[in-house]
Amino acid sequence: MKAVRMYEHGGPDVLRFEEAPRPEPGPGEVLVRVHAASLSHLDLWSRAGLPGHTPPKMPHILGNDAAGEVAFVGAGVPGELLGQRVLLNPGYGCGRCEECLAGRETFCRTYRILGYEIAGTHAEYVKAPAENLVPMPEGMDYVGASAIGLVFLTAWHMLVTLGGVSPGQTVLVLGAGSGIGSAAIQIAKLYGARVIATASGEGKLRRARELGADEAIDHGKRPIHLEVRRLTGRRGVDIVVEHIGQITWPESLRSLTPGGRLVTCGATTGPFGETDIRYIFSRQLQVLGSYMGSRAELLALMPHVASGVLRPVVDRVFPLADAAQAHRHLEGRGHFGKVVLAVD
């Protein structure tokens, strides 16, 4: 099969488009013929190498998300799955421990994400547990379906499960042009919240409003928390969706109303956020860490995707052979939505 593999960590030039052995599904597993696979910032970090993280076995295939059709099934998997159009839940645990059985698989000690710890989706075929298959909504194409899993699952877990978003609340979404940002705007609006989004440049601000943001802030022109205070009558927001990290961390905390919740899932600009601890306890703020989400949460959000209320946002599609160029495009931060690799 054709695949994009890396033999060492580094820049986009370490990616090689080449022939690779086709994986064989074991018991309880399937092999999906990939038609489209999206990129995420986790791919960029995995390619560059994360300090303190055990590197995957090389050569390694990146890619957390994919959409395609079931091509082969392993022992114990129903044959009627063959040919089904599916997208993949990017992460899974052992399926046997207390956390997995409780539906909290992200707490499983062996929890793994496709393309991170194990071979991913940037190839013609990808192997995954059969329970990670999610039927594609009727009428959706493979490119759109490949842009759902990781970002909508993460944003849902942040806002619904941890943030407890509800009608009448105000949500601040940082980085509206990212996959997480574009998904979070839509989920917050689904739950009846007022959304303030941040982005850079009028083009991205306009697209954030088109997705449903009630207000859009250019974070390059004025401190975010001052704009938030102005837009909320000095009250602040109930929830901050934070995934930018070091640069925006102090602004995120200062944007919260007393009793507000900052939910974080990433640190794109760096892992060290300056924090005045007195500000947290005196205003009774909550800081919540979020990592992916459960299979049950992905299944819960999919009816909203099928109805068209939640829509994948695709910025640009590259051929699989041009994966290195796609990485450079994502690193350039000029995108709005997901960057996708067409595998066909």
pLDDT in tens, 98-152: 999 999 999 999 999 999 999 999 999 999 999 999 999 999 999 999 999 999 9
Using alpha carbons, select from 217, 151, 220 the residue that is nearest to residue 187: 151
- One-letter amino acid for residue 248 of the chain: T
Domains within the chain, CATH numbers bracketed: 2-148+312-342 (3.90.180.10), 152-289 (3.90.180.10)
pLDDT tens for each residue of 77-88: 999 999 999 999
- Pairing mode, if any, of strands 237-242 and 256-264? parallel
CB 228 within 8 A of CB 262: no
CB 215 within 8 A of CB 189: no
Report how far apart, in Å, the C-alpha atoms of 123 and of each of 79, 149, 150, 311 are: 23, 17, 18, 25
Q: What is the pTM of this model?
A: 0.96
- One-letter amino acid for residue 291 of the chain: Y
Using alpha carbons, select from 185, 81, 180, 92 the residue that is nearest to residue 136: 81
CB 65 within 8 A of CB 147: yes
pLDDT tens for each residue of 24-50: 999 999 999 999 999 999 999 999 998
Q: In whole angstroms, what is the distance from residue 128 CA to residue 130 CA?
A: 6
